[in-house]
Amino acid sequence: MRKLKDSRRAEIVDAALLVAAEQGVKAVSMRAVAARIGLTPMALYGYFRNKDELLDAIIGRMLAEISRPAADLGWRETILHLAAEVRSAARRHPSVFPLLFTRPAVSPSAIMVIDLLFDALLRAGVEPAQVPRMERMISTFLIGYAISEVGGRFSEGSLDTRGRRAQLEPDLLPGHQLLAGHLDARVDWDAEYQADLDGLLDIVAGLAARDQRRRQPIGKP
């Protein structure tokens, strides 16, 4: 039932994703998307109530590419898998990814990721009451990092600016001179992501250990 309607919907979302990839999110207009598949702008309103709903569908489509981690992975490996998937989704859809921070995550695929994180945190031994907080922290980091990497906040321009400042105004702040050599260094994003993520997972592990000690009376191993 309504299979035709669904495939039309998918066709529209695909077209929108293409327009975004080729000309940026700014260029995703009802008119441009419709034109790409030979329709009139008004035809889209049979499938999406308005443009925001179309944008939400694009987000959902992008997150749908995230693969489920194998069920036999440990909690740490599960989170690492999801982190890698989120990051590669961002790299595949750099112009669309920033939309994630702009609207609440309600698509089925977003909820899948959240649920998998919940499950991993519970398996890590984090107290249930702390699990939503930890999930928020981890997903904030995952999305924030990916956006910064693809969206330009850490772009070459800004790094250059920082490095140049260190050379031009050496006594700006005590210690800034010390950093001069490191500010313009080529960044190894993979290594940095890994290191930061390890740090976060250490927080999780530490919290879990503390929670377990509390639940287990002293003396009982």
Partner DNA sequence: ACCTGAACACCGTTCAAGT
Chain positions contacting a second copy, by CB under 8 A: 98, 100-106, 111, 114-116, 118-119, 122-123, 128-129, 131-133, 136-137, 140-141, 143-145, 147-148, 151-155, 157-158, 161-162, 165, 172-176, 178-179, 181-183, 185, 187, 192, 195-196, 199-200, 202-203, 206-207
* Sequence letter at residue 86: V
Say how many C-beta atoms besides its own lie within 10 A of residue 125's C-beta. Answer: 16
Express the helix, strand and coil content of the chain in percent, nearest 5 each. Answer: 75, 0, 25
Q: How far apart are CA 150 and CA 104, in angstroms?
A: 20
Distance between alpha carbon 135 and the CA centroid of its chain, in Å? 13
Report the distance separating Cα 68 and Cα 81, nearest Å: 9
Between 39 and 83, name the residue whose CB sits nearer to DNA.
39
Closest to 18 (Cα-Cα) out of 5, 36, 30 = 36
Q: Is 43 in the site for DNA (CB under 7 A)?
A: yes
Calculated CA dihedral for residues 175, 177, 178, 180, nearest 10 degrees: 140
52's contact among DNA, a second copy, none, with CB below 5 to 8 A by partner kind, is: DNA
Binding DNA (rule: CB under 7 A), the pick from 4, 71, 129, 178 is 4
Residues comprising the chain, all counted: 221
Q: Could you tell me the smallest distance in angstroms from the CB atom of residue 29 to DNA?
A: 3
Least distance to a second copy, CB of residue 130, Å: 9
Nearest in space to 9 (alpha carbons), one of 39, 79, 27: 39
147 binds, among DNA, a second copy, none (CB under 5 to 8 A by kind): a second copy
Instruction: Write out the two tokens for 104.
Output: 């609440």
**Site for DNA (CB under 7 A): which residue of 22, 24, 50, 103?**
50
Return the number of the residue (28 or 117) whose C-beta is nearest DNA: 28
Question: Please, what is the minimum distance in Å from the beta carbon of residue 39 to a second copy?
Answer: 25
Give the footprint of DNA on this chain (CB under 7 A).
Answer: 4-5, 8, 27-32, 34, 38-43, 45-46, 50-52
